[in-house]
Amino acid sequence: MAKRVVLAYSGGLDTSVAVRWLQEELGVEVVALAVDVGQGDDFEAVRQRALQAGAVESVVVDAKAEMADDFVVPAIAANVRYEGKYPLVSALSRPVIVRHLVAEARRHGADAVAHGCTGKGNDQVRFEVGTRALAPDLDILAPARTWGMTRADCIDYAARHGIPVEATKEKLYSVDENLWGRAIECGALEDPWAAPPEDAFTLTRPSATESRDVVIGFEAGVPVSIDGRTPDVASLVTELNTVVGAYGWGRIDMVENRRVGIKSRETYECPAALALVTAHGDLEDLTLERDLAHDKARLEPRWAELVYDGLWFSPLKEALDAFFASSQRHVTGEVRLSLTPGADGGVGSCVVSGRRSPVSLYDHGLATYDAADTFHHSDAEGFVRLWGLGVATWASRQGGPGAT
């Protein structure tokens, strides 16, 4: 039985209750670990809340830059969209937290880690598979899977034990947020027919009234500039969330296939993520050779699926990262995004309106139909004949389609 456990601590209801429950029910010492991945919390208040709940130590780690550089950048390289839609807002932050869970377990001499996930969700998979990949010797505790308490029960438990929580029984939504976006669940959102209420959104509330352009610069696939300025990646993402979100753009409403086999209605806000993936993919159209681009597009959904399924630390994910990193060597240039406000204060638009690169594979002389045309049209006849030779031979010998 574990004696000391490092708990992935959010400061919310479930993990605050878990601090006391792990002590009372399992008799373990709890070290609370809060990892700042850009959720915008008051982390000193979070740290104090863990201590008031009974943690023997409360640790806060600033991992915003780490998440941006080590997790968001590879996701952009992979043009990440799980099931063609979702840029992995929550899924990208979990391996960041796992890294620090394991590191703190080693630092504090813990023999286990713990999380506050339920048995229905994806995050239990991400925390546990990731931990076993990095530290297979550590035990993993999941109190929310075993304590049998409802949300209301947890609120009552916190009240009885004097655990300071901000949750109420009337809370409308469950929100998970980081610098890459917001995931919003529960309440009215559990009905897949009902339109998402406007009060569910914070990043994408329309406020812009004028159209504008934003120019994103990339070097070797990494976003390095916005309108000529060169902030770090985390700051660039944060700024782009504000700029693009002001147009009401960047919402996703989808029915998603969870790893555990449940279909779940999910609502996301990720203006920066969608804008960057859109811009990056467009720049690749300009700079990647045809066969490389086609095979990369074929592998991108697999990368997204691996990360969604909690396999960030896995051999196939590592191999795909190497392939994608190689593909990004010449993905350098700028993409112009044009932002337009919606009618009557509604959802606006964000579209690519231009792209340029010092290593562009676009050749105006080859592409144009005007007098500057440098394409040798006479070469095409032999090429087309040879390209279709196999089909022509088949048709002449076996009668072609429909032959008996």
14 assigned to active site: yes
Choose, from 36, 123, 176, 309, the residue flagged as catalytic: 123
Spell out the residues 6+ positions from residue 277 whose beta carbon is closer than 8 angstroms to its own.
Answer: 75, 76, 79, 80, 81, 87
- What was the pLDDT predicted at 172? 65
* b (16+ CB within 10 A) / e for 88-117: bbbbbbbbbbbbbbbebbeebebebbbbbb
Confidence class for position 210, pLDDT limits 50, 70, 90: very high
Confidence class for position 253, pLDDT limits 50, 70, 90: very high
pLDDT digits (tens, 9 = 90+) for 84-118: 999 999 999 999 999 999 999 999 999 999 999 98
Q: Is the pLDDT score of 208 beyond 80? A: yes
- Check if the beta carbon of residue 112 is closer than 8 Å to that of residue 83: no
Nearest alpha carbon to residue 279 among 212, 363, 341, 217: 217
Confidence class for position 188, pLDDT limits 50, 70, 90: confident
pLDDT: which is higher, 188 or 310:
310
Choose, from 41, 111, 174, 258, the residue flagged as catalytic: 174
Report helix, strand or coil for 345. Answer: helix
pLDDT digits (tens, 9 = 90+) for 10-24: 988 899 999 999 999
Confidence class for position 403, pLDDT limits 50, 70, 90: low
123 assigned to active site: yes
pLDDT digits (tens, 9 = 90+) for 347-360: 999 999 999 999 99
Strands 222-226 and 212-219: antiparallel
- Check if the beta carbon of residue 266 is closer than 8 Å to that of residue 86: yes
Which domains occur in the chain, in start order? Answer: 4-160 (3.40.50.620), 174-288+330-356 (3.90.1260.10), 364-395 (1.20.5)
Report residue 37 CA to chain centroid gap: 12
Query: What average pLDDT does the segment 334-344 reach?
Result: 96
282 assigned to active site: no
In the chain, DSSP finds a helix count (H) and a strand count (E) of 15, 13
Query: What average pLDDT does the segment 120-127 reach?
Result: 92
Query: Strand pairing partners for 5?
Result: 30, 112
174 assigned to active site: yes
Q: Is the pLDDT score of 234 beyond 70? A: yes
C-beta atoms surrounding 348 within 10 Å: 21
- What was the pLDDT predicted at 372? 80
- Check if the beta carbon of residue 53 is closer than 8 Å to that of residue 15: no
Query: Strand pairing partners for 185?
Result: 174
Token code pair at residue 67: 């998440």
Give the separation between CA 244 and CA 249, rounded to whole angstroms: 6
pLDDT: which is higher, 133 or 189:
133
- What was the pLDDT predicted at 76? 98
Confidence class for position 83, pLDDT limits 50, 70, 90: very high
Angular region, 89: left φ>0, alpha ψ -120 to 50, beta rest: alpha
- What was the pLDDT predicted at 169? 62
Query: Strand pairing partners for 86?
Result: 82
pLDDT digits (tens, 9 = 90+) for 128-183: 999 999 999 999 999 999 998 988 898 899 999 888 877 666 666 788 999 999 99
DSSP state of 368: -
- What was the pLDDT predicted at 375? 87
- What was the pLDDT predicted at 94? 97
Choose, from 81, 94, 182, 251, the residue flagged as catalytic: 94
Q: Is the pLDDT score of 202 beyond 80? A: yes
* b (16+ CB within 10 A) / e for 247-285: bbbbbbebebeebeeeebbbbbbbbbbbbbbbbbbbbbe
- Check if the beta carbon of residue 273 is closer than 8 Å to that of residue 177: no
DSSP state of 341: P
- What was the pLDDT predicted at 287? 98
Report residue 13 CA to chain centroid gap: 24
- What was the pLDDT predicted at 170? 61
Query: What average pLDDT does the segment 331-336 reach?
Result: 98
Q: Is the pLDDT score of 187 beyond 80? A: no
CA dihedral 185, 191, 192, 194 (to 10 degrees): -100
- Count CA atoms within 13 Å of residue 215 on its CB side: 11
- What was the pLDDT predicted at 404? 61
What mean pLDDT, rounded, does the chain reach? 94
CA dihedral 197, 202, 205, 210 (to 10 degrees): -170
Residue with tokens 């400061």: 11
Report helix, strand or coil for 371. Answer: coil
Element (H, E) at 346: none
Q: What is the 3-state secondary structure (H, E, C) of 350-363?
A: EEEEEEECCCCCCC
Give the separation between CA 326 and CA 329, rounded to whole angstroms: 6
Report helix, strand or coil for 24. Answer: helix
Q: Is the pLDDT score of 400 beyond 80? A: no
- What was the pLDDT predicted at 134? 98
